[in-house]
Amino acid sequence: MKVKLKIWRQPNARSKGKFVDYDLDDISPEMSFLEMLDALNTRLIQQGDDPVAYEHDCREGICGSCGLFINGRPHGPEREVATCQLHMRSFRDGDTIVVEPWRAKAFPVIKDLVVDRSAFEKIMDAGGFVSVDTGSAPEANTTPVKKQNAERAFDAGVCIGCGACVAACKNSSASLFVAAKISQLALLPQGKAEAQRRALNMVARMEELGFGSCTSTEACEVECPKSISLDHIARMNREYLRASFSEEKD
Amino acid sequence: MATLDAKIPEGPLKDKWTNYLNSMKLVSPANKKKLDVIVVGTGIAGSPAAATLAQLGYNVKVFCYQDSPRRAHSVAAQGGINASKNYRNDGDGVYRHFYDMIKGGDYRARESNVYRAAEVSNGIIDQLTAQGVPFAREYGGQITTRSFGGVQVSRTFYAQGQTGQQVLLGSYSALRRMIAKGKVQMYERRQMLELVIKDGHARGIIARNLLTGELERHTAHAVVLATGGYGTIYYLSTLGVTSSGSAAMIAYRNGAFFGNPSFIQIHPTCIPQLSDFQSKLTLMSESLRNDGRIWVPKEQGDKRNPNDIPEEERDYYLERRYPAFGNLVPRDVASRAAKERCDAGYGVGKTGQAVYLDFKHAIKEQGAKAIGSKYGNLFELYEKITGESPYETPMRIYPAGHYTMGGLWVDYELMTTIPGLFAIGEANFSDHGANRLGASSLMQGAGDGYFILPNTIGNYLSDKIKTSRLSTEEPEFEEAEKRVREKLEKLININGSQTAASFHKRLGKIMWDHCGMLRSEEGLKQARTEVRELKQEFWNDLQVPGTLSELNQELEKAVRVADFLDMSQLLIEDALNRHESCGGHFRQEYQTEAGEALRDDENYMYVAAWEYQGEDQMPRLHKEQLTFEFVEVKERTYK
């Protein structure tokens, strides 16, 4: 099949970027989207041009490295997939495909389709953990955990940190990412002791880093490759409110 | 010459680790503050090691290749993590766990290390649970388990088919906590390109900043490599495409011995290769063999839809050949059996290079919902790639390169033959012998990282409290950086016509054909010649665009492929040297009448530890003789 690509090219953070057109005419529908980009890059290298920079690693939708904004949607047209799991069979012969990096103030472009997502790390540092040193844990079955809660915590815990929620949001809010971690740990007895300060600190850090606020458009849930539910944002808000009124907060 | 002393503690097997802990030297909290440790890699070994060392009070510097430590490929481990807690009351315990691993590894692992791995496994589950890892639970709130290949108990803890992700994120969060406290300095987007050695001791690294190309010098009192395995040597594998053997090769070239390099696990259940441009093979967790049944048609070349093939015309060949373990035989056995059927013309699918993994019976017995709750995400993953639903049509699977049992040779303290250089997790050779059992890679990595290395490294560092920080202006740093610069300049100035990936693809095919599931003297010798020629072609006709001082992903690939070429030569020599079959190393010349691996215990009951002798020179073989005091060495059978 043939496709026309419009790809965002930007040599580095300091220079201005622009769309560049590329025509590919020997694409197989079985190719993954990234394999299609590999084919383009092979051609560019052989022509002596600079290949398109993009991030990827596991190519099975779990590491969260790949994140491309394809035809106006994070990770492209299919639901519940990361870019690496998208296949060319999702496009039609002759399609024009627009490929951009994540667009968000908190995710500056590094080169072409590569952005800096280190703001997520800084949010994690504000409390995305249980403070337990190695060796001090009690026997694992000492504290029973309701099966439903363990499953809900898992459903939040599957976040791959790709940033699609931010890219999908008109406010560039990181609420779904932050809520997934707050909710996972709040659902488990192991995370309860720090639940309040975690909610307050992670939300504050998110705001400091230039992410917008949540206005419940639900775009993040639709575009999340792991279908993380908006319910977790509701739980985050409850945790945050409860913590705001608590006398125990520090 | 470095001597090969494994430093195994005295005493009965069950007391060795305790004896070690009781007698090791300690570093006082005040002195730990003066000691720097570099950890390279942030997977399920590196992250917990770094976090734990920082909690102990050392200054820790951590390096990872990706933009975040959370992206290390441990994240993709699926099925589970073993521990001998015996929650099921099914006769499990540390000794049985140890025995299963020793037997599973075909008697080619060190008893003392394996026992310790089993011994610390229970603490890992406790630690991860406390960190908020949502393991699967029963309605009563207790943690549940499932079975994996090569064992007859249920000791695998899991979180659906995403155990690696959940476990890694637990350790990653522990690491982030120490970063937030300022106890760990985190360096993302860095690749280690050289080791700095002074007076025979590892004292630092040269790392390339992947965004700017700048070469950085980092000093330390000890260096820990937690850099994973090198299964991507086959190009197509279940690993992340940036996984590499480069750090291990750097250590090897600097004098660290390489243990059993050719011991590579070929995983039996992966989605088969569908096309020529494919860049990656996807694993389907071994846990699926709890409920899925593997079969091929009894008739050669039967092209019917699998659902139209009646029961009596199906050959459930694993159940037929191995009635005691059935579909849950270990990976090496299952992979070879699949290859045997396909080579004999019974394979299915377009290419004939696949067998069926069928859930029809399980769905009938337990219902689609119960099966979905155990394997739902794996079924979806399969459907996303192939466009077929395993609820309706049997999966098609085929073996693929997966895990490397081989790695840097380490002693009981996980130290390589270079003092001060440690290797943990998949990067070392230690615990899995010639074949790894399922759900024991997360276990070994986490055990090394949380509980073993943080103790053993103290024994080494206790001598270093008066050693001051090595200045990065010292000639050792100067020379190491110069070597890196020269190598990178050489790569970028070849100005040839072929991409790094095209060389990798060709190398992968040579290695898969001749140093993969089936090896022979003839094939290996042919591969030796082909790799030598390919290596020459690489250094004459490689094309790397761009410059050294920017984000240059093609340069990164070229570095990896250059190392894989050297590594392939090492693997081939190791496979040629071992005139026997054991575990994943199967030599055509050495098999039983029934087609099983035929060991030669008299001549090959040793770890082959290879010492680098220079570019293209035959490496020197050192042998660590393995002795089995606590198990009887037998033919490994799963019948």
Residue B627 inside a domain? The answer is: no
pLDDT, position A250: 53
Residue B10 inside a domain? The answer is: no
- Give the pLDDT confidence of A95-119 residue by residue, as tens digits: 999 999 999 999 999 999 999 999 9
Q: Could you tell me where the DSSP H helices lie in chain A? A: 33-46, 118-125, 147-157, 164-168, 175-186, 189-192, 195-208, 219-223, 231-245
CB contact under 8 A, B67 and A150: no
Interface test with chain A among B175, B280, B379, by most A beta carbons within 10 Å: B280
Q: Which two tokens stand for residue B162?
A: 């995403």
Q: Which two tokens stand for residue B416?
A: 């390589």
How many Å apart are CA A236 and CA A244, to the nearest integer?
12
Residue of chain A nearest B164, judged by CA positions? A62
Backbone angles phi, psi at B4, to 5 degrees: -105, 75
Q: Per DSSP, which regions of B126-200 are E strands?
A: 156-157, 184-187, 190-198
One domain for residues A129 and A218 = yes
- Shortest distance between the Cα of B77 and any Cα of chain A, in A, equals 10
One domain for residues B545 and B595 = yes
DSSP A63: S
One domain for residues B390 and B502 = no
How many Å apart are CA B153 and CA B162, to the nearest integer?
21
- CATH code for the domain of A138: 1.10.1060.10
Interface test with chain B among A62, A80, A120, A232, by most B beta carbons within 10 Å: A62
Contact B450, B123 (CB under 8 A): yes
Question: Which residue reads 């519940």 in tokens?
Answer: A80
DSSP B582: B
One domain for residues B358 and B220 = no
- Give the pLDDT confidence of B402-448 residue by residue, as tens digits: 999 999 999 999 999 999 999 999 999 989 999 999 999 999 999 99
Q: What is the largest CA-CA distance in chain A?
A: 66
B331 is catalytic: yes
Contacts of B311 (CB under 8 A, 6+ apart): none
One domain for residues B250 and B184 = yes
One domain for residues B504 and B559 = yes
Residue B159 inside a domain? The answer is: no
Contact B55, B171 (CB under 8 A): no
Question: Exactly one of B110, B146, B321, B331 is catalytic; which is it?
Answer: B331
Q: What is the largest CA-CA distance in chain B?
A: 75
One domain for residues A157 and A213 = yes
CB contact under 8 A, A135 and B127: yes
DSSP B542: B
Residue at a domain's end among A111, A134, A166: A111
Q: Which domain holds residue B276?
A: 267-401
Q: Which of B168, B281, B180 is nearest to B226 (CA)?
A: B168
Contacts of B69 (CB under 8 A, 6+ apart): B42, B46, B47, B62, B172, B175, B176, B186, B188
pLDDT, position A145: 98
Weakly modelled stretches of chain A, pLDDT under 70: 248-250
pLDDT, position B376: 87
Residue at a domain's end among A111, A132, A150: A111
Domains in chain A, number? 2
Helix axes A195-208, A175-186, angle to 10 degrees: 170
Q: Which domain holds residue A44?
A: 3-111
Q: Is B494 exposed, middle or buried (0-12, 13-18, 19+ CB in 10 A)?
A: middle
Residue at a domain's end among B383, B401, B419: B401
Q: Residue A169, by phi and psi: left (phi above 0), alpha (psi -120 to 50) or beta? A: beta
pLDDT, position A248: 63
CB of B595 less than 8 A from some CB of A: no
How many Å apart are CA A159 and CA B87, to the nearest integer?
29
Q: Are strands A96-100 and A3-9 parallel, antiparallel or unpaired?
A: parallel
Q: Which two tokens stand for residue B335?
A: 């992979």
Domains in chain B, number? 3
CB contact under 8 A, A35 and B162: no
Q: Which two tokens stand for residue B366?
A: 């337990």
One domain for residues A123 and A139 = yes
DSSP letter string, B463-524: GGTTPPPPPTTSHHHHHHHHHHHHHHHHHHT---SB-HHHHHHHHHHHHHHHSSSSB-HHHH
One domain for residues B284 and B410 = no
Residue B377 inside a domain? The answer is: yes
CA dihedral sign of residues B308, B310, B314, B320: positive
Residue at a domain's end among A85, A111, A137: A111
Contact B279, A84 (CB under 8 A): no
pLDDT, position A246: 86
CB contact under 8 A, B240 and A38: no
CB contact under 8 A, A35 and B277: yes
Q: Which two tokens stand for residue A30?
A: 């079985």
How many Å apart are CA B110 and CA A238, to the nearest integer?
53
CA dihedral sign of residues B5, B11, B14, B17: negative
One domain for residues A122 and A178 = yes
CB contact under 8 A, A118 and B450: no
Contact B501, B568 (CB under 8 A): no
Residue at a domain's end among B464, B489, B506: B464
How many Å apart are CA B342 and CA B273, to the nearest integer?
14
By residue count, chain B amounts to: 639
Q: Mapping DSSP to helix (H, G, I), strand (E, B) and coil, where does residue B47 land?
A: helix
One domain for residues B206 and B290 = no
Residue B536 inside a domain? The answer is: yes
ipTM of the complex: 0.98
Give every strand in the sheet of B222-225, ordered side by side: B184-187, B59-63, B36-40, B222-225, B421-423
Residues of chain B found within 8 Å of residue A145, distances taken between Cβ atoms: 134, 137, 141
Weakly modelled stretches of chain B, pLDDT under 70: 1-3
Beta bridge partners of B624: B607
- CATH code for the domain of B55: 3.50.50.60
Q: Which of A120, A113, A93 is nearest to A177 (CA)?
A: A120
Q: Could you count the other beta carbons within 10 Å of the beta carbon of residue B152?
A: 14
- CATH code for the domain of A23: 3.10.20.30
